[in-house]
């Protein structure tokens, strides 16, 4: 008897809420659908630039809202996708010219779009300086990523370190799923050859970063 | 005019001072001193008067002022109106931020061409600025000293807020960036530029209460729409159109996160 009357009240309250058009937060699927539409409505893009808006599987997984954590299965999938994406230079040499790498590390430009046109440059910058401390004493460096000062001094220049460093720059998510670091090789912001120069800049004992 | 130049010159000198601080200076400490110096003489004030006269002047093909524009508190009622934006407007059946609402009124009341307004909305650096920039600043200044108070009551406001949250965390493009990659931790910088920690209450409040702002390096007043534009450019996304739901969603999310901040515009940005 009591149960019936509670149910009755719940039914009446629910009907009232619907009648009053009681507004509330939409569910996740509704939000996703609406927000994804907003993205494609908001940007003026050519077919060539549509890929900048499309999320690949890894980006989808790495767009967790708030403090939501990756599941173990998701992390494993990210690592698997990252590993599969890594390509090595045709020469097989992962260690380039640290002087070229030094320039690249301090170049924060490339790949930006204005009025439908991509920046007109011979090659993209490495963007490192935006987020990482580099050579000792450099002031104009960011701190979103960890300091790279003394990178090679601390780690040496074994083959394993060279390979790890190359892969880390090519696709950081192979080692740190969903980290803030762009997957510079995988997104094609940098070429494999450019990455070999950054590897040398980080590791070479002659590089200013290890002085 | 002479006056304008004088103030711009002052800003320029201050800027140079900020840039010639000792090389050993740490970013957080001494740069903020430079920024504080700049703030004490904010040239953005000039745009407030300009916006006020634009608001009350009879303009556009229909030759009327904006006094009949309803920013949510009733026609022509500006005090506290910006503090509540973005919000739902029944006449457009849309959630609008300040700039979108201005577009609505300048189109419907004054008869201006919407596309033309959007094309001119974000001015060139060192120009005298756009009408929308000046109007947005004047209207927001009428909420100075009041608290940001973005409420969710209409279903479309709830939808917009949640979409903004989703977009804040959405990663895509060459850099794999969403907003949170740069704005999710305290005390971070891109090179020497401080990044606002927007997932904290204080950071969101800085966002919600300081736009439009005078941008020292551009010598013009900038709006929130411009800010988002510049962010997505650095994120390597394509050209962001003016006054889209994408921008309104992010602004709804950030302003609501920044509720209770005391509005003080024009803000001052580097």
Which residues of B are catalytic, by number? Answer: 231
pLDDT at residue A41 above 60? yes
Q: What mean pLDDT is predicted for residues B208-214?
A: 97
Contacts of A137 (CB under 8 A, 6+ apart): none
Distance between CA atoms of residues B161 and B230, nearest Å: 22
pLDDT at B14: 41
Cβ-based neighbour number of residue B95 at 10 Å = 26
User: Least CA distance to A109: which residue of chain B?
Assistant: B234
Residue A76 near residue A61 (C-beta atoms within 8 A): no
pLDDT at B41: 80
Distance between CA atoms of residues B136 and B129, nearest Å: 12
B175 vs A182: CB contact, 8 Å cut-off?
yes
Q: What mean pLDDT is predicted for residues B88-115?
A: 98
**Among A40-44, A54-58, B10-14, B97-101, whose mean pLDDT is lowest?**
B10-14
Distance between CA atoms of residues B11 and B2, nearest Å: 14
pLDDT at A130: 97
Q: How far is A200 from chain B (nearest CA, A)?
A: 22
| Strands of the sheet with B220-222, listed across from one edge | B220-222, B213-215, B267-269
A139 vs B27: CB contact, 8 Å cut-off?
yes
A20 touches chain B (CB under 8 A): no
Share of chain B above pLDDT 90, in %: 84
Residue B200: half-sphere exposure toward Cβ, Cα within 13 Å: 12
Secondary element (H or E) of residue B168: helix B155-168
pLDDT at residue B24 above 80? no
If we measure between CA atoms, which residue out of A193, B159, B255 comes closest to residue B263?
A: B255
> Which residues in chain A touch residue B246, judged by CB atoms under 8 angstroms apart?
38-39, 41-43
Confidence of residue A4 (pLDDT cuts 50, 70, 90): low
pLDDT at residue A126 above 70? yes
Contacts of B150 (CB under 8 A, 6+ apart): B84, B85, B86, B87, B208, B252, B255, B256, B259
A91 touches chain B (CB under 8 A): no
Q: Which of B152, B193, B239 sits opposite A114 (nearest CB)?
A: B239
A19 touches chain B (CB under 8 A): no
> Which residues in chain B touch residue A66, judged by CB atoms under 8 angstroms apart?
165, 169
The per-residue pLDDT for range B36-64, each reduced to its tens digit, is 666 668 899 999 999 999 999 999 999 99
A139 vs B25: CB contact, 8 Å cut-off?
yes
pLDDT at A20: 54
Fold of B42-269: Cytochrome Bc1 Complex; Chain D, domain 2 (1.10.760)
Entry field: residues in chain B: 270
The torsion angles phi and psi of B74, rounded to 5 degrees, stand at: 110, 160
Confidence of residue B35 (pLDDT cuts 50, 70, 90): low
Residue B136 near residue B207 (C-beta atoms within 8 A): no
pLDDT at residue A198 above 60? yes
Confidence of residue A162 (pLDDT cuts 50, 70, 90): very high
B244 vs A44: CB contact, 8 Å cut-off?
no
Task: Round the average pLDDT of chain B to a whole number and report it.
Answer: 89
CA torsion angle for B55, B56, B60, B66 (degrees, to 10)? 60
pLDDT at residue B4 above 50? no
Q: What mean pLDDT is predicted for residues A54-73?
A: 97
Three-class SS state of A173: helix
Strand pairing report for B188-190 and B87-89: unpaired
pLDDT at residue A121 above 60? yes
Share of chain B above pLDDT 70, in %: 85
Q: How far is CA A95 from the centre of its chain?
A: 24
Three-class SS state of A44: strand
A118 touches chain B (CB under 8 A): no
Contacts of A91 (CB under 8 A, 6+ apart): none
Q: What mean pLDDT is predicted for residues B78-107?
A: 98
Q: What mean pLDDT is predicted for residues A35-59?
A: 97
CA atoms A140, A146, A152, A157: torsion sign:
negative
Distance between CA atoms of residues A126 and A109, nearest Å: 8
- Peptide linkage before B86 cis (omega within 30 of 0): yes
The torsion angles phi and psi of A41, rounded to 5 degrees, stand at: -80, -25
Domain ranges of chain B: 1-41, 42-269
Distance between CA atoms of residues A36 and B214, nearest Å: 32
The per-residue pLDDT for range B111-154, each reduced to its tens digit, is 999 999 999 999 999 999 999 999 999 999 999 999 999 999 99
The torsion angles phi and psi of A113, rounded to 5 degrees, stand at: -115, 130
Q: Which of A54, A141, A189 sits opposite B174 (nearest CB)?
A: A189
If we measure between CA atoms, which residue out of A121, A186, A143 comes closest to residue A195?
A: A186
B191 vs A65: CB contact, 8 Å cut-off?
no
Residue B266 near residue B224 (C-beta atoms within 8 A): no
Distance between CA atoms of residues B151 and B149, nearest Å: 6
pLDDT at residue A183 above 90? yes
Q: What mean pLDDT is predicted for residues B33-37?
A: 62
Q: What mean pLDDT is predicted for residues A6-26?
A: 65
The per-residue pLDDT for range B163-191, each reduced to its tens digit, is 999 999 999 999 999 999 999 999 999 99
Terminal-to-terminal C-alpha distance of chain B: 23
E-state strands within B72-203: 87-89, 94-96, 188-190, 193-195
Q: What mean pLDDT is predicted for residues A84-113?
A: 97
Q: What mean pLDDT is predicted for residues A155-164?
A: 97
Residue B106 near residue B117 (C-beta atoms within 8 A): yes
pLDDT at A5: 60
């Amino acid at each position: 008897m009591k149960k019936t009357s509670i149910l009755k009240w719940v039914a009446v309250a629910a009907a009232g809420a619907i009648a009053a058009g009681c507004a509330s937060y939409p569910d996740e699927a509704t939000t996703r659908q609406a927000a994804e539409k907003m993205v494609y409505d908001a940007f003026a893009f050519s077919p060539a630039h549509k890929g900048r808006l499309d999320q690949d599987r890894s980006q989808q997984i790495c767009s967790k809202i708030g403090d939501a954590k990756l599941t173990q299965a998701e992390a494993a999938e990210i690592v698997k996708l990252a590993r599969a994406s890594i390509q090595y230079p045709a020469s097989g040499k992962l260690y380039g010219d640290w002087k070229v790498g030094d320039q690249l590390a301090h170049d924060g430009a490339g790949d930006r779009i204005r009025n439908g046109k991509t920046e007109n440059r011979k090659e993209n910058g490495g963007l490192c300086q935006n987020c990482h401390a580099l050579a000792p004493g450099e002031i104009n460096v960011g701190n979103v990523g960890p300091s790279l000062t003394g990178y090679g001094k601390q780690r040496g220049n074994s083959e394993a370190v060279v390979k790890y460093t190359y892969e880390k720059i090519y696709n950081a998510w192979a080692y740190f799923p969903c980290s803030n670091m762009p997957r510079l090789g995988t997104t094609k912001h940098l070429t494999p050859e450019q990455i070999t120069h950054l590897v040398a800049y980080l590791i070479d004992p002659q590089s200013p970063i290890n002085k | 005019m002479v006056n304008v130049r004088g103030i711009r010159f002052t800003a320029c000198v201050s800027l140079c001072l900020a840039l010639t601080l000792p090389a050993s200076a740490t970013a957080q400490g001494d740069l903020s001193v430079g920024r504080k110096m700049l703030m004490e003489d904010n040239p953005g004030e000039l745009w407030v008067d300009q916006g006020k006269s634009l608001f009350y002047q009879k303009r556009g093909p229909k030759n009327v002022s904006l006094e009949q524009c309803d920013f949510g508190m009733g026609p022509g009622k500006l005090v506290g109106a910006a503090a509540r934006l973005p919000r739902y407007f029944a006449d457009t059946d849309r959630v609008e931020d300040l700039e979108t609402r201005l577009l609505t009124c300048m189109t419907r009341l004054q008869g201006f061409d919407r596309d033309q307004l959007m094309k001119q909305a974000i001015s060139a650096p060192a120009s005298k600025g756009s009408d929308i920039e000046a109007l947005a600043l004047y209207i927001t200044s009428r909420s100075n000293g009041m608290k940001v108070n973005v409420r969710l009551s209409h279903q479309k406001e709830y939808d917009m807020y949640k979409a903004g949250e989703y977009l804040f965390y959405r990663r895509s493009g060459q850099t794999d960036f969403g907003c949170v990659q740069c704005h999710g931790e305290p005390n971070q910088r891109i090179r020497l530029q401080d990044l606002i920690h927007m997932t904290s209450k204080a950071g969101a409040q800085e966002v919600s209460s300081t736009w439009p702002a005078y941008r020292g390096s551009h010598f013009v007043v900038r709006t929130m729409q411009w800010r988002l534009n510049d962010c997505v450019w650095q994120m390597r996304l394509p050209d962001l159109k003016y006054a889209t739901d994408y921008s309104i969603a992010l602004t709804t999310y950030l302003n609501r996160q920044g509720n209770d901040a005391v509005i003080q515009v024009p803000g001052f940005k580097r």
